[in-house]
Amino acid sequence: MNRGRNSFNRTRRPAEGVAPPEGTQPPPPELIGKAISSITPQSRDAMTVLIRVRGKRGGLLSLAEANALNLCVGDLWSERLAERCRAHEALSEVRTAALRLLTRAAQTKAGLLRKLKAKRLDAALCARVVAELEDRGLINDRLYADTFAQSRAKGKPMGARLALAKLAQRGVDRTTAQKAVTEHFAARDDHAEGLRLLRTKLRRGTKPTDDRQALKRRLIALLSRRGFDSGVCVKAVNEALKEIS
């Protein structure tokens, strides 16, 4: 049952806790054994409480955990309780970082995990938070792949092969990526898309005196890099070169 702001204000024995995550520091020794002076819900997050010991900051703890411990003002600040606070704060740090990344742009499961680890956050906590966000529907690789394939199919000329490669780079599994790309690229005319790209390229920088064989090789390489199949590349390049003959 949730407590009100002052419902922690009664005396009890010290609460017991659990081990901290690897790499945390021991609690300030001068606070151990001293009485908790306040347990205050945070203004920005009412589900988190700030514990103070003799007016000094002890740590943050979830309201649910404080309730489960039946934690009260007057309880003694223990090393185990400090460990619980550090564990909560470490997990909150990862959650905050993950939500900030999701606010900026949609993420794949693997991509978000990679970015969190790059911040040198605890790997186990990163995996836990990513799994939580996936369960809540905030990460959805199938939706990500579908949205990505749809936007690329309607955007700048790109072959299905490049779309698949980009999804793989973002950590989407092959089956999910293939399904999304097939759905959105199936109705496209790859020859027309490749030809559109070539026409734009040729208008911008091709001179009549350019070596045709060298130009042909460059244009085929261009389409290949954009993910078009070899047959499409050759056919589109031949047609584009005829148009400027």
pLDDT tens column, 91-136: 999 999 999 999 999 999 999 999 999 999 999 999 999 999 999 9
Whether the predicted pLDDT of 22 surpasses 50:
no
Read off the pLDDT of residues 157-214 as tens digits, 9 standing for 90 and up: 999 999 999 999 999 999 999 999 999 998 889 999 999 999 998 887 666 556 888 9
d(CA 239, CA 82): 72
Whether the predicted pLDDT of 76 surpasses 70:
yes
pLDDT at 8: 60
CA–chain centroid gap for 232, Å, is 36
pLDDT band at 74 (very low <50, low <70, confident <90, very high): very high
d(CA 240, CA 245): 9
Instruction: Label the pairing between strands 56-62 and 36-41.
Output: unpaired
Please tell me the number of Cα atoms within 13 Å of 105 on its side-chain side: 8
Sheet with 48-53, side-by-side order of all strands: 36-41, 48-53, 56-62
pLDDT band at 226 (very low <50, low <70, confident <90, very high): very high
Strands (E), the chain: 36-41, 48-53, 56-62
Q: Which two tokens stand for residue 104?
A: 């900026």
pLDDT at 156: 87
3-state secondary structure (DSSP) of residue 35: strand
pLDDT at 187: 87
The amino acid at 201:
K
d(CA 55, CA 37): 6
> Stretch 31-37: mean pLDDT, rounded?
93
- φ/ψ of 219, rounded to 5, equals -70, -40
Q: Write down the residue that tokens 């900026």 correspond to.
A: 104
What residues contact residue 105 under an 8 Å CB cut-off, 6+ apart? none
- Between the two ends of the chain, the Cα-to-Cα distance in Å is 81
Helices (H) and strands (E) in the chain, counts: 10, 3
3-state secondary structure (DSSP) of residue 99: helix
Whether the predicted pLDDT of 13 surpasses 80:
no
* Helix/strand/coil percent split, the chain, to 5: 55, 10, 35
> Stretch 217-234: mean pLDDT, rounded?
94
> Stretch 38-49: mean pLDDT, rounded?
91
Whether the predicted pLDDT of 3 surpasses 60:
no
